[in-house]
């Protein structure tokens, strides 16, 4: 019998949880198909199918689903609600399977298990077990699959922590990418994983920084414990996991003052970002020694415009470093 093929769209949660889910489904005996990296064609599909007012990452997600839907037996679009007991995901994540189901025609069955650690004991495990049983796999096998998947996940995240980027860290035997010229600047590059790591959407931001001899420090390069311990001065924590992470990282980097600049990779039309970015900007005002810039990415992010802005920013930082050598 041919293996069941499960499709995992290469967008949104993909950048953090693909290895976990891939191993999990493989262990259950399914074949995992992914739509790979975002391309012009994928994005155009998404833009055509998704609502014009939706944010780009959601449009990209639609595009990935379109690319996958005819190649797989199941689509895996979990409803990820809360994974840490404290913050939830953006409302669009909460309604993601419904948005897909009710607006795209000709879809294979969607596995949309709800993942919310607050929903009783071992809620996540029970979610995975239900996934297993919908594929006809018993609980014992699920336990084993999940254990292996979690190991893969831990390894993946520790690679990210060490500075690997998702595409390299996802390969079986990661090889450190070729070092470019030796970086002389370090920038914090903060934003949602699907904005920072989708190199089509952000027009190759990380690659460009490398060429400018800038080392990029992302939120995934910061130890989770340090991020969790970091507080920010706001009457409430931001409700959404990714925004909360970004704001914590912002405060951490500004307060340590070790980076030479901070770039916020913000998304056009993103609701949570309107608040996150403003909070970052207000924080930046208190730490003028570390320059801050917001890059807004959308479906038309142009290579040329981006390069110019990055160059100008890096130049400015270098000049400042030369003129005030020992201000910090």
Position among 8, 12, 90, 131 found at the interface with other proteins (CB under 8 A): 90
Which partner in ligand SF4, other proteins, none is near 103 (CB below 5 to 8 A by kind)? other proteins
279 in contact with other proteins (CB under 8 A):
yes
User: Considering CB under 8 A, how many residues would be counted as binding other proteins?
Assistant: 36
Which partner in other proteins, ligand SF4, none is near 57 (CB below 5 to 8 A by kind)? ligand SF4
| Rounded CA separation 49/42 (Å) | 11
272 in contact with ligand SF4 (CB under 6 A):
yes
95 in contact with other proteins (CB under 8 A):
yes
Which partner in other proteins, ligand SF4, none is near 192 (CB below 5 to 8 A by kind)? ligand SF4
Position among 192, 197, 292, 313 found at the interface with ligand SF4 (CB under 6 A): 192
267 in contact with ligand SF4 (CB under 6 A):
yes
Part of the chain binding ligand SF4 (CB under 6 A), chosen from 111-119, 150-158, 231-239, 264-272: 264-272
Residue recorded with tokens 């400015």:
316
> Least distance in Å: CB of 232 to ligand SF4?
18
> Least distance in Å: CB of 104 to other proteins?
10
236 in contact with other proteins (CB under 8 A):
yes
Which partner in ligand SF4, other proteins, none is near 33 (CB below 5 to 8 A by kind)? none
| Rounded CA separation 289/190 (Å) | 18
273 in contact with ligand SF4 (CB under 6 A):
yes
Contact in structure between 77 and 68 (CB atoms under 8 Å): no
96: nearest Cα among 73, 123, 122, 115: 115
300 in contact with other proteins (CB under 8 A):
no
55 in contact with ligand SF4 (CB under 6 A):
yes
77 in contact with ligand SF4 (CB under 6 A):
no
> Could you list the residues that contact ligand SF4 (CB under 6 A)?
55, 57-58, 90, 92, 192, 267, 270-273
Q: Which residues bind other proteins (CB under 8 A)?
A: 50-51, 53-54, 79, 81, 88, 90-92, 94-95, 98-99, 102-103, 114, 234-236, 238-240, 268-275, 277-279, 282, 285
């Amino acid at each position: 019998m041919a293996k069941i093929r499960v499709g995992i769209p290469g967008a949104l949660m993909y950048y953090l949880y693909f290895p976990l889910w891939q191993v999990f489904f493989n262990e259950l005996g399914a074949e995992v198909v992914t739509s790979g990296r975002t391309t012009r064609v994928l994005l155009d599909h998404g833009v055509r199918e998704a609502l014009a007012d939706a944010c780009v990452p959601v449009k990209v997600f639609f595009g990935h689903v379109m690319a996958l839907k005819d190649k797989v037996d199941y689509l895996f679009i979990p409803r990820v609600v809360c994974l840490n007991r404290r913050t939830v995901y953006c409302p669009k994540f909460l309604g993601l399977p419904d948005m897909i189901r009710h607006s795209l025609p000709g879809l294979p069955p969607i596995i949309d298990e709800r993942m919310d650690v607050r929903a009783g004991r071992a809620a996540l495990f029970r979610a995975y077990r239900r996934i297993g049983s919908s594929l006809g796999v018993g609980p014992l096998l699920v336990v084993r699959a999940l254990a292996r998947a979690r190991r893969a996940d831990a390894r993946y995240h520790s690679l990210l922590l060490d500075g690997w980027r998702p595409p390299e860290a996802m390969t079986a035997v990661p090889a450190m990418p070729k070092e470019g010229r030796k970086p002389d600047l370090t920038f914090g590059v903060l934003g949602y994983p699907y904005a920072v790591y989708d190199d089509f959407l952000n027009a190759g931001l990380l690659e460009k920084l490398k060429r400018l001899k800038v080392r990029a420090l992302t939120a995934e390069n910061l130890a989770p414990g340090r991020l969790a311990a970091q507080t920010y001065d706001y009457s409430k924590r931001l409700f959404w996991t990714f925004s909360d992470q970004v704001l914590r990282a912002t405060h951490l980097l500004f307060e340590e003052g070790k980076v030479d600049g901070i770039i916020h990779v913000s998304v056009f039309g993103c609701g949570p970002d309107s608040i996150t970015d403003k909070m970052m900007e207000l924080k930046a005002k208190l730490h003028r020694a570390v320059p801050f810039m917001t890059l807004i990415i959308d479906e038309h992010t142009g290579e040329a415009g981006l390069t110019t802005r990055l160059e100008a920013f890096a130049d400015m930082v270098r000049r400042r470093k030369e003129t005030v050598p020992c201000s910090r």
